[in-house]
């Protein structure tokens, strides 16, 4: 356990101080997706305090404008872009309400992290950098705009809702990638899959024993950025045990609750089950054996996996046996993880899917998956296979939230500028990459065709999980580079 009294919470004293001051402010303001009014109001208030032009659109996005440094009006207009929401994930034993509580950020060596929750560096650091640029009186730059979008993490609502004609700049610099020293010029598209089983309630057989199965300790993480690490998926692991125990011990399922947000690899799953009392001892031994098996299989990837069975009171009813069987068998064969690696870019995942959520309540069982691909036709084919699978299992499948990827532009003027300026600052060229995650650039480029776009950011590890942390030194380099680039934007 972390000791509260030893934590250095003075993150506003880090350098660059203005950026970290704004980030400290952002941490104090609750801003999970769909609960962004407070952070929206804060951005508007900061614009007023700085004397900036500020517009809010119908979607809830905030657009700020700052005039060019005198003599630099001939530079192309730059749009700095970030999103205002964060992913609300916490450890199971952490008492925390993301809609009311402040993030407990603290310094840990050369990192800033949070106590048992996501930090919100994704994308709070991007917002803080924008505000620091807007607040700095001595930076050299051409005409500047800032676009801070809402509800990016749950469907890119702000980007989808942005209308043509609001932005004036010619170059867009997205501040939402997560490795300093890398420039991103392309991203994956995505689509959500929602599956619904309906079930009848059945009585619990006489002489049954009930258990609460708890699977915890997995690392989880970002379902795009970290799918390549092939960490354990709590929903798939729990289902694997349930399917085997159904055959071996006559296990019956009363309820299940696994995973959380669609774009986070599920870390935990809980199921309430029953079985004949005569098989209880063998079942308990099987639970312990399965835990050892998972620890061996996931060694070096998810070393903290914990699986246990806790005896509980017999539940009031069970999911009917037919639905249980169809659910467990279909989840067992549901695609999950890497589907295909890119044949063009070494080490890049091209297509993947994440079984993010399995939850039962009041006669229905809901499954939620998120598919990603930089090739729309592969994403569509994967969607068709998911629909076919769950149709055979007797479930209803709905597709939603589709968005296309962002295709790299090798002739990009801002890419050439940033390659040259990074080398001028640090003596080496940054890596140029595409990302297996959803950046808003793909959507924004569709609304504003012709935008010259690029994405950058400091080093953030384990986003979308309570282990999220941002590297302090990388934030300094990210800031220096951003300021340097703004002074060397191509002319109109």
Taking 3-state DSSP, the helix, strand and coil percentages for the chain, each rounded to the nearest 5, stand at 30, 30, 40
Given 115, 122, 152, 291, the catalytic residue: 152
Cβ(84)–Cβ(150) below 8 Å: yes
Tell me which DSSP letter residue 412 carries.
-
Which residues are within 8 A (CB) of 456 and not within 5 positions of it... i.e. 6 or more apart? Answer: 173, 174, 175, 177, 180, 182, 183, 184, 418, 478, 481, 482
Cβ(187)–Cβ(439) below 8 Å: yes
Is there a catalytic annotation at residue 157? Answer: no
CA 149 from centre of chain: 15
The position carrying tokens 């930089």 is 374
Q: Which of 307, 142, 292 is nearest to 216 (CA)?
A: 307
Cβ(315)–Cβ(255) below 8 Å: yes
**Rounded-to-integer distance, Cα 235 and Cα 332, Å:** 10
- How many Cβ atoms are within 10 Å of 398's Cβ, its own excluded? 10
Structure tokens given for 40: 């929206």
**Rounded-to-integer distance, Cα 109 and Cα 400, Å:** 42
**Rounded-to-integer distance, Cα 1 and Cα 40, Å:** 34
The position carrying tokens 């109109």 is 492
Give SS3 for 327: helix
Given 85, 157, 214, 291, the catalytic residue: 85
Report the first-to-last Cα separation within the chain, whole angstroms.
55
Is there a catalytic annotation at residue 384? Answer: no
Catalytic residue numbers, as ranges: 85, 152
């Amino acid at each position: 356990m972390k000791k509260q009294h030893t934590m250095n919470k003075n993150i506003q004293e880090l350098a660059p101080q203005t950026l970290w001051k704004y980030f400290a402010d952002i941490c104090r303001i609750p801003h999970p997706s769909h609960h962004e009014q407070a952070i929206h109001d804060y951005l508007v208030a900061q614009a007023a305090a700085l004397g900036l032009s500020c517009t809010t659109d119908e979607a809830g996005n905030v657009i700020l404008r700052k005039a060019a440094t005198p003599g630099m009006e001939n530079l192309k207009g730059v749009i700095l872009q970030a999103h205002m929401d964060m992913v609300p994930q916490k450890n199971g034993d952490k008492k925390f309400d993301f809609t009311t509580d402040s993030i407990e950020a603290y310094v840990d060596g050369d990192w800033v992290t949070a106590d048992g929750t996501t930090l919100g560096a994704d994308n709070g650091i991007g917002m803080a950098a924008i505000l620091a640029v807007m607040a700095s009186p001595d930076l050299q730059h051409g005409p500047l705009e800032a676009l801070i979008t809402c509800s990016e993490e749950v469907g890119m609502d702000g980007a989808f809702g942005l209308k043509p004609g609001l932005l004036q700049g010619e170059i867009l610099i997205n501040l939402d990638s997560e490795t300093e020293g890398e420039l991103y010029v392309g991203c994956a598209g995505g689509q959500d899959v929602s599956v619904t089983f309906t079930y009848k309630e059945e009585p619990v057989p006489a002489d049954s024993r009930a258990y609460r199965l708890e699977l915890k300790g997995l690392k989880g993480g970002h379902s795009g950025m970290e799918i390549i690490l092939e960490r354990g998926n709590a929903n798939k692991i729990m289902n694997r045990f349930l399917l085997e125990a159904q055959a071996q011990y006559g296990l019956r399922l009363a309820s299940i609750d696994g995973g959380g947000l669609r774009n986070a690899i599920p870390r935990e799953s809980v199921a309430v089950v029953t079985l004949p009392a005569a098989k209880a001892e063998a079942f308990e031994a099987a639970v312990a054996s399965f835990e050892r098996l998972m620890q061996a299989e996931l060694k070096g990837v998810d070393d903290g996996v914990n699986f246990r069975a806790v005896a509980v009171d017999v539940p009031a009813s069970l999911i009917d046996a037919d639905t249980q069987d169809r659910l467990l068998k279909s989840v067992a064969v549901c695609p999950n993880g890497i589907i295909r690696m890119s044949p063009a870019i070494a080490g890049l995942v091209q297509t993947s899917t994440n079984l993010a959520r399995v939850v039962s309540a009041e006669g229905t069982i809901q499954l939620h998956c998120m598919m990603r691909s930089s090739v729309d036709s592969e994403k569509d084919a994967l969607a068709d296979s998911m629909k076919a699978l769950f149709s055979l299992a007797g479930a209803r499948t709905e597709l939603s939230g589709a968005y296309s990827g962002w295709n790299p532009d090798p002739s990009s003027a801002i890419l050439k500028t940033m390659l040259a300026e990074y080398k001028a600052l640090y003596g080496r060229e940054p890596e140029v990459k595409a990302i297996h995650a959803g950046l808003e650039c793909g959507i924004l480029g569709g609304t504003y065709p012709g935008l010259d776009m690029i994405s950058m950011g400091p080093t953030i590890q384990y986003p979308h999980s309570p282990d999220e942390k941002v590297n302090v030194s990388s934030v300094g380099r990210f800031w220096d580079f951003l300021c340097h680039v703004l002074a060397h934007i191509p002319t109109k």
